[in-house]
Structure 1
């Protein structure tokens, strides 16, 4: 820690003599004007386990930043006009009120707001705003299996894959440790780029040939053998399916509920203050 103490001593030496003439707290380690860092402040910076080198880096960086901020503040107070300082102080005070108000409202919301959005509410909102949910990208429902090029029993896997029954899925799942990768839930809508990521044999240059409704493909490249079936395809500009936009709708409804709760909270707060005469407007 010797380097650290030398560093702190050097910072103290750089401080002007008038700082030392002021009454200093007993445990002050670094001072800039009336502001100071105590020994405890320095200790609290350090993690539970640290090396001497780490401690020197952490403390010196923090002291530099701390001192720079306060020196800039002192210079600003000396060089910025009083009228501008008053404006800044008003902004600071306003920001202070906003921070406390937001923290208080968030805490009340967390404690009291019902965040469960019922399926019926989601369905109703979707029906009323369906025209607003247009896709800005292609979506697909597909399933695939990627096998190693040397996989010995592609035929039996292909047969199970084509059948698409629950029993076939269970058998494929039991064999999945032998697959390079797979995805069998073709009821889920996913972005088209997922196909490119998972099935390297399909890419933007040949997608028009392969990505079509109700199409099955067995493809090969240097990476593997792919069994792919597209269930449905939606294009950019089509109406978005409910299952895909459901999370968005839930968030919209939850945000609306939060806003209504906060409006009621603010109104009740004012009403209670008026009744109790905590809030009065003198005529």
Structure 2
């Protein structure tokens, strides 16, 4: 490991005789202009358990990137005008303030913001903005079962499937290990493409024939027997159902709550600073 580190350091040092003219810290292992890495810096890069091959890849990659960044920075300081450097330093300082401020606000928000959005608030928002929720894709409520072509009791499964009662679904759940695939939760809305992925006999070229409200199909191909029932179908441009856009509305309301909390936080911060005379505007 030590041989590897000193070898890499040696290669970097050879790239300019200027390196040998500078005073080097005693614990420096890698020098790049006026920057350096110590033995401890290098060792901290490595995970607790590593092989010789791992250490070679990790250390050499890091050192090359580190040296490139430092040398570019040093050359930039020498070749970019002082006025441009001042502008860059102001941007860096502004970014530094923004990073600290954002981290602080995020932490306070995480600790203090109530993230529970009640169903009544979601429903109220949906009623007020329902015209804004138009579908940009087709949705379906459907269930299906795919059986092996040699499945021995297709008729029994078919009867349970069409019955659609809670007891029938419980019975189907107990038999599901014998199915090739299945989806029985036909109360939720899903994207139409899921139908094409799950039921390969239904394709974009024949969907108009099969994907309709309240339609049942028993279909077969070389890989299986498909029992399919469509409850409802919504087309692109239709009003989106509440259950489908509920997560979106919840996020909208949560974001609004976050913004209001941050505005209040910033206002209270200024008010407190004015009262305590930490913030003053002198004429």
What TM-score do the two structures reach when normalised by structure 1?
Answer: 0.97
Kindly report which structure 2 residues correspond to 1:6-155, keeping only aligned pairs within 5 A, or say none: 6-17=7-18, 19-155=19-155
Secondary structure of 1:45's aligned partner: coil
1:226 matched to 2:226? The reply is yes
Change (3 A) 1:16 1:276: farther
CA distance in 2, matches of 1:245, 1:12: 61
Change (3 A) 1:37 1:4: closer
Change (3 A) 1:59 1:174: same
**Cα-to-partner distance string for 1:158-214 (whole Å, 9 max, x where unaligned):** 011010011100110100000000011100000000000100010101000000000
Q: CA RMSD in A?
A: 1.1
CA distance in 1, matches of 2:32, 2:61: 16
CA distance in 1, matches of 2:110, 2:39: 38
Secondary structure of 2:129's aligned partner: helix
CA contact (8 A) 1:15 1:32 kept: no
Q: Which residue of 2 aligns with 1:187?
A: 187
Deviation at 1:22, TM superposition (A): 3.9
Structure 1, 62-71 or 23-32: larger mean CA deviation = 23-32
Q: Which residue of 1 aligns with 2:269?
A: 269
Q: Which residue of 2 aligns with 1:244?
A: 244
What TM-score do the two structures reach when normalised by structure 2?
Answer: 0.97
Deviation at 1:21, TM superposition (A): 4.2
CA distance in 2, matches of 1:117, 1:15: 62
**Cα-to-partner distance string for 1:193-239 (whole Å, 9 max, x where unaligned):** 00001000101010000000000000001110000000000000000
**Cα-to-partner distance string for 1:231-266 (whole Å, 9 max, x where unaligned):** 000000000000000000000000000000000000
Matched positions, count: 282
- Structure 1, unpaired ranges of 5+: none
- Structure 2, unpaired ranges of 5+: none
